[in-house]
Amino acid sequence: MKRGYGRVIPINGPPEEELLPMFQLKNVTRQFGKKTAVSSVTFDIPQGQMVGIIGRSGAGKSTLLRMINRLVDPSSGSIAFGEAEVSSLRGAALRKWQRDCAMIFQQFNLVPRLDVLTNVLLGRLNHRSTVLSVLNMFSRDERIMAIGALERLGIEQTALQPAGTLSGGQQQRVAIARALMQQPKVLLADEPIASLDPLNAKIVMDALRDINERDGITVITNLHTLDTARNYCERIIGMAHGRVVFDGQPKDLTSAAVAQIYGGDTAIEESMTSTSINIPTEAPRETASAGSKPLALAGL
């Protein structure tokens, strides 16, 4: 079986009807004992889309993303990316897939005692030999690349601070910078703004949209707020009880569809959700905290 991941399609390339599906999920199911977390999910995602997955807690959203990344194996069904059967990858091929399919989490998954720059550099581990990874030896080019990723997220001045001293919004941006270091083809974001305040939630979502639009990277994100999905995603997938019950554009997400996703008795007030406030589009530049060192001392 070929392990290639399909052709690259430029951002302003062929019209949507000509795009080859990047992902093809067919009857994907995951059971944990007698509980079915995801049930017979089938859909295609063309390259370069930004897709939001919404639904109640426990609807199967996180399990679905973890199966795509292969942190969790499907109980049945298939996940294909281009010509690669993701659900059957093993060994080096699986490690390559997890490099190409980066994932960020609600709780950031950083190493708190390590400085921000080192946390970002950890995104290069799957690109390196085992020996260099064990020795934590990163090249000058990789360090410059890491600083560039931090600059893109507006937090370069935090590079030498311990990651654990940063705010939640800053830590999530560090996690995104680390994902960019993988040079992924796909970025999965599992509830990336669930624990953030409105300002930082908007900054993080703006960053994900910028990555999607500027780099042509497919972004699939689980979201807990309807307004965020409507404002940022060109396509929304709604899940309920492990199944896909809605798949369409934001304009198609009617009150009836929302009721099917969240339950008919659920009152939804979208205007009060996390990214509805009017704040600057551009992420503010972070300033170095007291005691932090200039970037020139980062060993570049």
Tens digits of per-residue pLDDT, 235-261?
Answer: 999 999 999 999 999 999 999 999 999
Rounded distance, CA 35 to CA 296, Å? 53
pLDDT > 50? residue 290: no
Task: Give the single-character DSSP code of 162.
Answer: B
Averaged confidence pLDDT in the chain: 84
Please report the pLDDT score of residue 135 as a whole number: 60
In this prediction, residue 300 has a pLDDT band, given cuts at 50, 70 and 90, of low
Please report the pLDDT score of residue 20 as a whole number: 54
pLDDT > 60? residue 116: yes
* Mean pLDDT, range 110-122, rounded to an integer: 94
In this prediction, residue 6 has a pLDDT band, given cuts at 50, 70 and 90, of very low
Q: Which of 170, 209, 166, 162 is closest to 189 using CA atoms?
A: 209
Nearest 5 degrees, angle CA 100-CA 102-CA 103? Answer: 155
Question: Of the CATH numbers 3.40.50.300, 3.90.79.10, 3.40.50.720, 3.40.50.970, which one belongs to the domain with range 20-268?
Answer: 3.40.50.300
Domain ranges of the chain: 20-268
Q: 105-140: string of b/e by CB count within 10 Å (b at 16+)?
A: bbebebeeebbbbbbbbbbbbbeeeeeeeeeeebee
pLDDT > 80? residue 287: no
pLDDT > 70? residue 3: no
